[in-house]
């Protein structure tokens, strides 16, 4: 996906508007990791050539560089984001 930086900025704006706690880390490779805390849940998102989404919880306690879900389509990712933030 060529526009992951634009989608990352879109995600940050939504999180700020909704006052949802988040932190992100940029890497020299160009990848960005975004941590989101919302409704007693913790999510990690990866912005690379795709967008990866993982929920870290009691049954999925570890996080590595392989996400639970990968999105290569902007619309599918935005639908996932809406489900996470309850929009």
pLDDT digits (tens, 9 = 90+) for 24-79: 999 999 999 999 999 999 999 999 999 999 998 776 656 566 899 999 999 999 99
Encoded tokens for 9: 């900025």
How far apart, in Å, are the Cα atoms of 86 and each of 39, 60, 64? 9, 21, 25
CA dihedral 2, 53, 74, 3 (to 10 degrees): -20
């Amino acid at each position: 996906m060529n526009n992951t930086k634009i989608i990352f900025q879109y995600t940050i704006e939504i999180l700020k508007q909704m006052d949802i706690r988040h932190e992100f880390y940029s890497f020299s490779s160009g990848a960005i990791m975004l941590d989101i805390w919302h409704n007693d849940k913790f999510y990690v998102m990866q912005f690379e050539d795709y967008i990866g989404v993982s929920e870290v919880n009691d049954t999925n306690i570890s996080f590595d560089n392989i996400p639970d879900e990968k999105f290569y389509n902007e619309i599918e990712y935005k639908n996932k984001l809406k489900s996470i933030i309850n929009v």
